[in-house]
């Protein structure tokens, strides 16, 4: 019987770090530093340095990080925030929890990231500046359009130069959803150098959920920013909007990052570059072994980007059949965001139309995540690819109708 191959292995890396992680627990218990304190501040400094930002503020989850980044960047209740429909529900949830209204632009058919041409079209045709302060308003709803959230999907950064140019032209805040992009890089012609995910927008949100490239042993997140004002505001928001000495600007919530998770993250941060290198190596194996297969495509990585390879996703017109065939041969796969945001039940009040986002629709119906984790071996990747090729070679695909073509 063939060896089973998991889609994600969270056991092996923790076993290798067993001694270091147990030391963290003992240090926290002996010092009784359970919330805040030196351990949290140390991680915040180290992760800010890793991201090349002035500030990192630890919070309780990636969703909270995005919500706080939006609010600290000036998003007010009733504003419109633009993002993409093929993101996690947490992205739209963060917008709604900030009091704003989510709206979407479609994604590019090759990178599966925010289509900046669609963003340009949205801003030029659906919005207008009004009043002495030149506030950008949505023509139909008359709501202020305040921010854009580019999502660095699967570890690949959006074309940030183009997004920032449009944001500057229209006076928008740019909040990076970097929850899947720890260590991703992008060559910016604006700055003439390689930039790191989380350093280019006004602020950025990271998730440290266990399955992320840098994952805690529970929920955790962070906001990164180069703005002193945004950093100060996020620090208040995560702690009941407390400014100093038990003074609270408004009633709010506790969303601090606890020291135990920070301790685990500090240990793991030392291995992140190596783990990302291993992920990229495995992704290169997949790309080489799966090339030239009809009805199968992988995410296009532009020359100006270095993906963190959080996931290796293929689009296949026979997604469900490929998934079932791999499962029957002991290979686990994943479906990430198979229902686009505009078709989620919680989005019904916003009256989105599927016809507006054809690429995101097809992507949701076709995307399949193949096994990927730092310790995956080449022979395991070979096995996965061998069965995928066997599926396409032995099945009479002409007799079946593809879910969708791959032209979009």
221-225 and 185-188 strand pairing: unpaired
pLDDT in tens, 7-47: 999 999 899 999 998 998 888 888 767 777 788 999 999 99
pLDDT band at 259 (very low <50, low <70, confident <90, very high): confident
Residues in Cβ contact with 276 at an 8 Å cutoff, skipping those fewer than 6 apart: 182, 183, 213, 308, 309
Q: Is 343 a residue whose pLDDT tops 90? A: no
* Amino acid 234: pLDDT: 95
Query: Does the pLDDT of residue 351 top 80, yes or no?
Result: no
User: pLDDT tens digits for 43-68?
Assistant: 999 999 999 999 999 999 999 999 99
Every domain of the chain with CATH number 3.40.640.10 lies at 11-269
Start-end ranges of CATH 3.90.1150.10 in the chain?
A: 272-399
Length of the chain: 408
| pTM of the entire predicted model | 0.92
CATH number, domain 11-269:
3.40.640.10
pLDDT at 339: 87
pLDDT of residue 247: 52
Smallest CA-to-CA distance from 74 within 152, 172, 154 is with 172
- pLDDT score at 310: 98
Mean pLDDT over each residue of the chain, to the nearest integer: 90
CB environment 223-243: b (16+ within 10 A), e (fewer): bbbbbeebbebbbbbbbbbbe
Assigned architecture for domain 272-399: Alpha-Beta Complex (3.90)
- Using the predicted structure, report yes or no on whether residue 159 has a pLDDT greater than 90: yes
The confidence band for 352, taking pLDDT boundaries of 50, 70 and 90, is confident
Cβ atoms 105, 149 nearer than 8 A: no
Q: Express each pLDDT in 197-228 by its tens digit.
A: 999 999 999 999 999 999 999 999 999 999 99
Q: Decide which of 239 and 62 is more confident.
A: 62
In the structure, what pLDDT confidence band is assigned to residue 347 with cuts at 50, 70 and 90? confident
Would you give the distance in Å from CA 262 to the centre of its chain?
20
Which pLDDT score, from 0 to 100, does residue 408 have?
A: 54
Mean pLDDT of the 298-313 span: 97
Half-sphere exposure (Cβ direction) of 117: Cα atoms closer than 13 Å: 3
Nearest to 225 by CA among 216, 237, 213, 217: 237
The residue behind tokens 């959080």 is: 310
What 3-state DSSP class applies to 135? strand
Q: How far apart are CA 226 and CA 55, in angstroms?
A: 6
Rounded Cα gap, residues 68 and 66, in angstroms: 5
Mean pLDDT is lowest, of 132-136, 216-220, 333-337, for 132-136
Coil, helix or strand at residue 130: strand
pLDDT, one tens digit per residue, over 290-301 is 999 988 999 999
What confidence category does residue 248 fall into, taking pLDDT thresholds of 50, 70 and 90? very low
Task: Single out the residue of 207, 218, 252, 213 nearest to residue 234, CA to CA.
Answer: 252
Cβ burial 41-63 (10 Å sphere, 16+ → b, else e): eebbeebbebbbbebbbbbbbbb
- Structure token digits, residue 138: 């949505």
Percentage of residues in the chain having pLDDT higher than 70: 91
pLDDT, tens digit, 9 for 90 and up, residues 76-130: 999 999 999 999 999 999 999 999 999 999 999 999 999 999 999 999 999 998 7
């Amino acid at each position: 019987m063939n060896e089973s191959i998991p889609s994600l292995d969270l056991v092996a890396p923790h076993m290798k770090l067993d001694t270091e992680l147990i030391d963290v627990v003992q240090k926290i218990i002996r010092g009784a530093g359970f919330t805040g304190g030196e351990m949290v501040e140390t991680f915040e400094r180290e992760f800010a340095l890793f991201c090349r930002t002035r500030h990192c503020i630890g919070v309780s989850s990636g969703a909270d990080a995005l919500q706080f980044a939006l609010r600290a960047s000036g998003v007010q209740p009733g504003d419109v925030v633009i993002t993409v429909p093929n993101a996690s529900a947490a992205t739209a949830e963060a917008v709604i929890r900030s009091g704003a209204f989510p709206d979407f632009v479609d994604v590019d058919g090759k990178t599966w990231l925010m289509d900046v041409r669609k963003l340009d079209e949205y801003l030029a045709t659906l919005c207008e500046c009004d009043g002495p302060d030149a506030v950008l308003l949505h023509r139909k709803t008359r709501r202020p359009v305040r921010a854009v959230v580019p999502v660095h999907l699967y570890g690949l950064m959006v074309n940030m130069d183009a997004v920032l140019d449009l944001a500057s032209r229209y006076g928008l805040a740019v909040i990076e959803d970097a929850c899947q992009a720890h260590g991703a890089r992008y060559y910016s012609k604006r700055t003439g150098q390689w930039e790191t995910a989380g350093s280019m927008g006004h602020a950025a949100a990271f998730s440290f959920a266990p399955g992320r490239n840098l994952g805690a042993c529970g929920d955790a997140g962070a906001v990164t920013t180069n703005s002193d004002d945004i950093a100060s505001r996020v620090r208040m928001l995560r702690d009941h909007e407390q400014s100093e000495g038990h003074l609270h600007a408004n009633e709010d919530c506790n969303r601090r990052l606890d020291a135990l998770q920070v301790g685990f993250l500090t240990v793991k941060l030392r291995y992140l570059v190596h783990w990302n290198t291993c992920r990229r190596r495995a992704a290169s194996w997949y790309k080489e072994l799966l090339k030239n297969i009809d009805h199968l495509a992988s995410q296009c990585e532009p020359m100006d980007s270095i993906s963190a390879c959080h996931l290796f996703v293929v689009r296949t017109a026979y997604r469900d059949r490929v998934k079932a065939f791999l499962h029957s041969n002991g290979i686990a796969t994943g479906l990430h965001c198979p229902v686009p945001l505009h078709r989620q039940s919680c989005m019904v009040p916003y009256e989105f139309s599927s016809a507006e986002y054809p690429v995101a629709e097809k992507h949701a119906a076709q995307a399949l995540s193949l096994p990927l984790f730092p310790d995956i071996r080449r022979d395991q990747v070979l096995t996965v690819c061998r069965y995928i090729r066997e599926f396409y070679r032995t099945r009479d695909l002409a007799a079946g109708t593809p879910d969708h073509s791959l032209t979009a």
